[in-house]
Amino acid sequence: MISIKHNRKDFKIIICFIIVVFVNIFLVEAQTKEWNFKVIAFYTAKEDPAHISFVHEANEWFSIQGKHLKFKYDSTNNWNNLNEKFLSEYQVVIFLDTRPDSLYQRIAFQKYMERGGGWMGFHFSAFALTPSAFNQDWNWYHEEFLGSGEYKGNTWRSTNAQLKVTQQNHPFTKNIPANFSAAANEWYSWKNDLSKNTNIEVLLSIDSTSFPLGTGPKPYEIWHSGDYPVAWTNKNYHMLYFNIGHNDMDYDGGTNQTLSSSFSSEMQNRFILNSLLLLGEAARKN
């Protein structure tokens, strides 16, 4: 004979189990709604102390900003995560200091961008020079996507620069003054003339008041004139490249201590966050 008392006990256990399941589902949904989009930053953080310093600073800064602005920020130095399944969880990808080198990682990233994903790249993520440890062996990325081609030269050492907004009506530059002081950086130049690429919109460039820019000691590491794009986007993708990411370091003293912050400029930070929020919003719609 089945005990009615026993059945009631089993029923209560089942009810409790159902309640626990629904509570967990509710908590997962609530946590998901805490952020508007998700960001994954890839980095290498090896060899150059200035790039390593920037990566550590950027990871901390973006994490703090994400809590305030409701985006989820994750980071990884495992480039094998650059695959279709992993990327499907994120609306924006950031390259903090390098680029993917394996073929399957590159294919996964290209597909991600062609399907409407968002991307933001900093400083060394655009570097390519043949011959070097980072050969220009990825035409889609350097020639089509970035448009800049190979690295041409740089200033030395890391110094502040005045930047000018070249597209004041662009959403990324909203509420950014026509000129502002950027954080200290090693500034790059490129082989391709971005102004002649109809797919590229240059948003920031070096203002002439910055010249001479750089301290040398080599003469070609000091710029005296010219057009030097600093930040740009490609109209065919949800992307932004911004050539910051090289802190000033105590190389001469041999301590390799960080002497500057890449996030010390309020307007520069506003530009980064403007762009990131818009990239996240655009990627969510796809």
What are the pLDDT digits (tens) for 110-149? 999 999 999 999 999 999 999 999 999 999 999 999 999 9
Q: Could you report the per-residue pLDDT of 79-104, keeping only the tens digit for each?
A: 999 999 999 999 999 999 999 999 99
Q: Could you report the per-residue pLDDT of 174-202, keeping only the tens digit for each?
A: 999 999 999 999 999 999 999 999 999 99
Residues 112 and 236 in one domain: yes
Residues 19 and 45 in one domain: no
Segment 216-241 mean pLDDT:
97
In Å, what is the CA distance from 254 to each residue of 156, 159, 185, 246, 259?
A: 17, 19, 19, 17, 13
Strand locations in 166-279 (E): 179-185, 188-190, 200-206, 229-234, 238-242
pLDDT for res 285: 81
Segment 230-253 mean pLDDT:
97
Half-sphere exposure of 64 (CA within 13 A, CB side): 8
Residues 4 and 72 in one domain: no
Q: What is the mean pLDDT of the chain?
A: 92
Contacts of 267 (CB under 8 A, 6+ apart): 176, 177, 180, 181
pTM tops 0.85: yes
Q: Please check whether residue 204 is in contact with residue 162, taking contact to mean a CB–CB distance below 8 angstroms.
A: no
29 has pLDDT over 60 = no
Residues 129 and 27 in one domain: no
Dig out the tokens for 64 from the structure.
């703090």
Domain at 137, CATH number: 3.40.50.880
Residues 26 and 138 in one domain: no
Residues 6 and 70 in one domain: no
pLDDT for res 284: 83
Residues 54 and 16 in one domain: no
Instruction: Look at residues 41, 253, 241 and name the one whose alpha carbon lies nearest to residue 145.
Output: 241
Residues 55 and 70 in one domain: yes
pLDDT for res 104: 98
pLDDT for res 19: 54
Three-class SS state of 139: helix
Q: Please check whether residue 177 is in contact with residue 168, taking contact to mean a CB–CB distance below 8 angstroms.
A: no
Residues 122 and 16 in one domain: no
Q: Please check whether residue 240 is in contact with residue 279, taking contact to mean a CB–CB distance below 8 angstroms.
A: yes
Angle between helices 49-69 and 266-284 (to 10 degrees): 60
Residues making up the chain, counted from first to last: 286
pLDDT for res 18: 57
Q: Could you tell me whether strands 37-42 and 71-76 are parallel, antiparallel, or unpaired per DSSP bridges?
A: parallel
The C-alpha atoms of residue 49 and residue 36 are separated, in whole angstroms, by 34
Residues 136 and 245 in one domain: yes
How many domains does one find in the chain?
Answer: 2
- What is the residue range of 257's domain? 37-284
Residues 60 and 199 in one domain: yes
**Sheet strand arrangement including 118-122:** 71-76, 37-42, 92-95, 118-122, 238-242, 229-234, 200-206, 159-165, 179-185
Residues 130 and 180 in one domain: yes
The C-alpha atoms of residue 14 and residue 255 are separated, in whole angstroms, by 64
The C-alpha atoms of residue 10 and residue 122 are separated, in whole angstroms, by 59
CA 29 from chain centre, in angstroms, equals 27
What are the φ/ψ torsions at residue 186 (nearest 5 degrees)?
Answer: -90, 115
